[in-house]
Amino acid sequence: MRTTKTDARQTDTAQRIRRVATELFFTNGYPATSVRQIMQACNVTAASLYNHFGSKEDLLHSILMSSLQDSVDSLLGAFASADDNATAQLRALVRAISTFHSERQLEGLVSQTEWRHLPAERAVDVLELQKRIRRLFETCLERGVADGEFSLAVVGADPDITAKSILDLCINAGKWFRTRGRLDASELARQHVELVTQMVGAQPVPVGTKH
């Protein structure tokens, strides 16, 4: 039975190509990374690489879509498991996005920058997933304002600007976070959650409370 391109992208080799290419795109930038560099770093032939991905552009698109979809899935799972109030849901979302970008920081950073090198028709899918992530936060913030849990209106802060600020805080931590540094991913996420709780004017969870 012939392996389809979709199936080929799920193999161990495809995962390795994506992982190595992500590192090269992060270090060198997409334009400066050649297919030959990717092949050599992965120790694969051109035939093997093109069996999994039709082009360097196709490889970048696959990396971005996979990373962003995983991020969306993580956020949806966190949202669904949180208590039914805006504060609990926002805290769950922040914890999820912070953890994702500290544990998969290179993918997260590449997904935020290198999409600009895709043709407009291929960037659409990537941008839609980015907007979906932002909209999850905006919707939660809007609910918190409407329910009186968040005091954004008091200081004249818009939910969309606040959502972007929260995402910048958590995503850009991937630029400096070190897995063997002073903080681990869970402690960084905890601090992000508390900072955002104060940012939106929500009631903090008492120290020692499970959350």
Digit-by-digit pLDDT tens for the chain (211 residues) are: 333 444 555 688 899 999 999 999 999 999 999 999 999 999 999 999 999 999 999 999 999 999 999 999 999 999 999 999 999 999 999 999 999 998 888 888 898 889 999 999 999 999 999 999 999 999 999 999 999 999 998 788 899 999 999 999 998 888 887 877 788 889 999 999 999 999 999 877 655 554 4
| Matching fold, domains 1-54 and 64-199 | no
| DSSP state letter for 211 | -
Class level of CATH domain 64-199: mainly alpha
* CATH number listed for the domain at residues 1-54: 1.10.10
Domains of the chain, by residue range, sit at 1-54, 64-199
Q: b/e string for 20-36 if b means 16 or more Cβ within 10 A?
A: bbbbbbbeeebeebeee
Q: On the CB side of 163, how many CA atoms lie within 13 Å of its CA?
A: 20
Q: Enter the tokens of residue 208.
A: 């020692």
